[in-house]
Amino acid sequence: MKLFGSVLLDYDAFRALASHVRIDILKKLDEQRSTVSDLSRSLVMSKSTVHKHLEKLCEVGLVNKREDERKWVYYEITGKGARILHPENVQVSVILSTIVLLVGIIFIATAVALVWMPIPTLNGEEAQFHILTVVLGAACTLSGYYMLRRCPWR
């Protein structure tokens, strides 16, 4: 099942999200990475209960477990978990990258049209304008393509 066209939810992930406690944990981890103790204090729950829920979230790929050099174990939300909490960010990035891609195509089309139009002679400024238009078009097109390739639903 797809959620907002961006995150593939399998049966286990869907079941993990069925618990309001796990959703609360995801929201807390969206604010900042935390330890089990930090989460148990802020959610007013026992550490063992929070740890059990965190293990389930890690198992389905919504949370990552990170150990730092001082032997602390931190939990942080993954990209998949963030996209579940903030699907509007995915839509904005798709719209923005599509606009950049279209602007690049328009620049290139304009440059091609200017080159193919019968102009008797090109002086230095007109040639620079054509080159600048092609370069801007290529940059926008490549940027838009790159942004679309990095979209989270891939």
CATH of the domain at 51: 1.10.10.10
Q: Indicate whether 48 and 119 sit together in one domain.
A: no
Q: Which of 25-29, 41-45, 118-122 is predicted least confidently?
A: 118-122
Q: How many domains does the chain have?
A: 2
Q: Indicate whether 63 and 137 sit together in one domain.
A: no
Q: Indicate whether 52 and 118 sit together in one domain.
A: no
Q: Residue 1 pLDDT > 50, yes or no?
A: no
**Which pLDDT score, from 0 to 100, does residue 103 have?**
77
Q: Residue 154 pLDDT > 50, yes or no?
A: no
Domain extent for 126: 87-149
Put residue 121 in one of left, alpha, beta given phi > 0 → left and psi -120 to 50 → alpha: beta
Q: Indicate whether 71 and 9 sit together in one domain.
A: yes
- Is 24 a domain residue? yes
Indicate the residue among 61, 84, 107 that finishes a domain.
Answer: 84
Tens digits of residue pLDDT in 120-147: 556 677 677 777 777 777 777 777 777 6
Q: Indicate whether 133 and 62 sit together in one domain.
A: no
Q: Is 23 helix (H, G, I), strand (E, B) or coil?
A: helix
- And the tokens for 140? 């926008």
- Is 141 a domain residue? yes
Tens digits of residue pLDDT in 68-101: 777 888 999 988 888 787 766 555 556 667 777 7
Angle (CA) 71-47-51 rounded to 5° is 70
pTM comes to: 0.54
Q: Indicate whether 71 and 126 sit together in one domain.
A: no
Q: Indicate whether 78 and 96 sit together in one domain.
A: no
Burial class of residue 104 (count of CB atoms within 10 Å of its CB; 0-12, 13-18, 19+)? buried
Q: Indicate whether 6 and 80 sit together in one domain.
A: yes
Q: Indicate whether 7 and 72 sit together in one domain.
A: yes
Tens digits of residue pLDDT in 43-60: 999 999 999 999 999 998
> Do residues 33 and 74 lie in contact, with contact meaning Cβ atoms separated by under 8 Å?
yes
Cβ partners under 8 Å of residue 134, min gap 6:
107, 108, 111
Nearest to 133 by CA among 103, 108, 99: 108
Q: Residue 152 pLDDT > 90, yes or no?
A: no
Q: List the end-to-end C-alpha distance of the chain, in Å, as a whole number.
A: 15
> Do residues 26 and 50 lie in contact, with contact meaning Cβ atoms separated by under 8 Å?
no
- Is 154 a domain residue? no
φ, ψ for residue 68, nearest 5 deg? -100, 180
